[in-house]
Structure 1
Amino acid sequence: MSFLSTRRKASRIMLELDDVHLGKLLKSLRTTMRSGAIASTDLRVSQIADFLKGRDWDRHTFHLGVLAHFLADTPVPSKWAEQQPDNATALVLHAWSELFRARATGNSEGVSRARTNCLRAADLAPLDPTPWIVLLTVSRLERYRTADTFYVWNEILLRDRWNREAYLSMMRYLSPDEAGSRLQVLEFVDSLRSRMPVNAPCAATELTSQVLHYQSIRARGGVEGLMARNYWKDIHVTAALDHASRHWTQPSFLSHAAALADLNTLAYALTSADRPREARPVFRAIGGAVTSWPWQFEGDPLSAFQRAQSRAEASR
């Protein structure tokens, strides 16, 4: 994660966040896409296969998720899976890209293929949590029975105890928008808070749940929507914000791959809670790496980020 700086960097939406090597790969992939060369798909497959060889599960999950999003509208994931049907990483990338496409288009045709690929990948790479992480999203989309979803969840925990993507996915599954309730989310967060290391990759699960709840209150409109900012005055919500703003910008406190995404969430929460002065060091730690969520709730995410950043810098 970048260290605090008083110099403002030009902000932009950055899928790669501060991962320099991933950023170089995305830039190279964009170049080959624009070239239109017949062999460009094979070239991209080769580049991605070379890149995705690490076994740091936190960073590996992050890399796969970003690439699945980036390549969802291209033939690259399916091409790689066809070429190497016994490569677990290729199968997971294909499965995850299918899910991104299904959510973007509303067409669930690829979800069953994603399920098949995940199960095959899990057999091929029994220590790898990523087939199960993607399968957890499949279980949410296909409305698995609760027992089956928790079976998938437990398989993830056996392989990567504090995986950020998995905890955020499970928290959303337990929300009122899917298969649970607000009470179940709170119980899940309380249980996590009492057990996890304070700087674990999933450290932002509680704050993310609070931002989602705040946005859901605002979305209801009327008087309730207008009074949504009072949500941030709740003693438990305030405590979570206080802890995050006090610790997360300390050098090397957050070291997981998506730390800057979590800092975007913190900056948004502090701004929403009318605490712009406290948001100032968070924006400086973020630099220019903007994430679409949660800023997109306020309209264009980049513009919303820049407005909040300017407000924080001007606060006294």
Structure 2
Amino acid sequence: MFRRRSALLVRPALDDDALHTTLTELRPTPQLHGLGAGRTRPLWQPVADLLRDTGRDWDRRWHRMSVLAGELPPAVCERWTAERPGDGDALVLRACVRSARAASEGWAAVREAERACLRAADACPEDPTPWLALLDVMYALAAPVRDAVPVWTEAVNRAPWHRGAYHRLLRHLSPRGPGTVTAMTDFASHAAARAPHGSPLALLPVAARVELVAHRNLRGRTGLGADAHWNESRAGEETEAALAGWFRTAATPHAEAVVDLNLLAFALVRTHRPNEAAPVFRRIGRHMTTHPWELLPAPERTFLYWRDRQEV
């Protein structure tokens, strides 16, 4: 008998159903003429409700803010800040939106994004999110690492061991950005070694290895050269540390756990440990992420092959 494969859910919200519902609610339908037509409450109210419910969960707040910044119709944020100019959530979201779009809109937009981030930081002094938004601007401009580190420090001073902060700096340290292989791998290993047991930062060395492979692929160094990265003994040690230090612990799932699970499953497949990948794929379920599977041919087919292979 043929077994029916469940459809994959590849979406920015990951497994955050509340975020996905908010985004769906704000998409104009063919029956409405223009965004907000036919509504009886402010256009931005679903976003305000979502962020209010998020509270001081800085990890999830960053995930939701960054996804909203990339997916919301621009009118939502602009209308919210116009109607509630002193609202801290509105100002932080505006900073994230401006940061996400600044690099493609010119130097004036970059300066405005910087001002929006600093204004949001003043309005919400305990929130690391505005500083991470500012770090996004700096990455888009390929700002030197020495300039990015103080901004990152502002974020982690407010939320030590913040997953998003560490991954943002890892990206900045990457050779695909303004960093180097040595800086990236050293940062990843040192941060993972210092992180509390059960922290998803145990996966930083795995993320750094994936980033290195992506860098080599970008430079056209694929094939056996890419496989060699996964055949090193250190690759197996990094993957085992991620399993023991995060996956097999009783840690509470974090906002971007789906991303980390995909990274871990990918590393287990590439280091030839399919049996240990099985429970990771079971936890992933339908929530595939584009990265890192895009580094392999036919990403969805490859993901499904390995996921469904575990269920035979």
State the TM bucket, normalised to the shorter chain.
0.7 to 0.9
Q: Which runs of 5+ in 2 are unaligned?
A: none
Q: Does 1:262 align with 2:253?
A: no
SS of 1:290's equivalent? Answer: coil
Give the TM-score normalised by structure 1: 0.84
Shift of 1:39: 6.0
Determine the structure 2 residue equivalent to 1:279: 277
Q: For 1:98 and 1:249, how far apart are their aligned partners in 2?
A: 35
Q: Quick one: which amino acid aligns to residue 51 of structure 1?
A: L
Shift of 1:300: 6.0
Shift of 1:29: 2.4
In structure 2, relative to structure 1, the CA distance for the partners of 1:292 and 1:99 (3 Å cut) is: farther
In structure 2, relative to structure 1, the CA distance for the partners of 1:44 and 1:202 (3 Å cut) is: farther
Q: Does 1:64 align with 2:102?
A: no
Determine the structure 2 residue equivalent to 1:40: 36
Q: Quick one: which amino acid aligns to residue 69 of structure 1?
A: G
Shift of 1:163: 1.2
Q: Per-residue displacement from partner, 1:116-155 (whole Å, max 9, x unpaired)? A: 1100001111111100111111122234454432221111
1:8 and 1:288 in contact (8 A); partners too: no
Q: For 2:145 and 2:288, how far apart are their aligned partners in 1?
A: 35
Determine the structure 1 residue equivalent to 2:75: 75
Q: May I ask how many residue pairs the two structures share in their alignment?
A: 303
Give the TM-score normalised by structure 2: 0.85
Of 261-270 and 110-119, the range deviating more from structure 2: 110-119
Q: Quick one: which amino acid aligns to residue 112 of structure 1?
A: R
Q: Which runs of 5+ in 1 are unaligned?
A: 1-6
Determine the structure 2 residue equivalent to 1:18: 15
2:145 and 2:173 in contact (8 A); partners too: no
Q: Per-residue displacement from partner, 1:269-299 (whole Å, max 9, x unpaired)? A: 2222333332221111011112222223336
In structure 2, relative to structure 1, the CA distance for the partners of 1:35 and 1:200 (3 Å cut) is: farther
Q: For 1:280 and 1:74, how far apart are their aligned partners in 2?
A: 41
Determine the structure 1 residue equivalent to 2:203: 204
Shift of 1:221: 3.6
Q: For 2:30 and 2:162, how far apart are their aligned partners in 1?
A: 35
Q: Quick one: which amino acid aligns to residue 89 of structure 1?
A: D
- Sequence identity, in percent? 35
Shift of 1:313: 4.0
Counterparts in 2 of 1:31-180, with a 5 A limit? 32-38=28-34, 40=36, 43-53=42-52, 54-71=55-72, 73-102=73-102, 106-108=104-106, 110-180=109-179
Q: Per-residue displacement from partner, 1:182-215 (whole Å, max 9, x unpaired)? A: 1111221222122111322433322111111122
Q: Quick one: which amino acid aligns to residue 165 of structure 2?
A: A
Q: Quick one: which amino acid aligns to residue 78 of structure 2?
A: S
In structure 2, relative to structure 1, the CA distance for the partners of 1:282 and 1:77 (3 Å cut) is: same
SS of 1:179's equivalent? Answer: coil
CA RMSD of superposed structures (Å): 2.7
Q: For 2:189 and 2:246, how far apart are their aligned partners in 1?
A: 19
Q: For 2:296 and 2:252, how far apart are their aligned partners in 1?
A: 26
Which of 25, 30, 49 is the aligned partner of 1:28?
25
Of 36-45 and 286-295, the range deviating more from structure 2: 36-45
Shift of 1:34: 4.6
In structure 2, relative to structure 1, the CA distance for the partners of 1:302 and 1:96 (3 Å cut) is: farther
1:162 and 1:196 in contact (8 A); partners too: yes
Q: For 1:226 and 1:150, how far apart are their aligned partners in 2?
A: 35
SS of 2:44's equivalent? Answer: helix
Shift of 1:301: 4.6
Shift of 1:225: 3.5
SS of 1:298's equivalent? Answer: coil
Determine the structure 2 residue equivalent to 1:237: 235
Determine the structure 1 residue equivalent to 2:303: 305
Q: For 1:126 and 1:29, how far apart are their aligned partners in 2?
A: 29
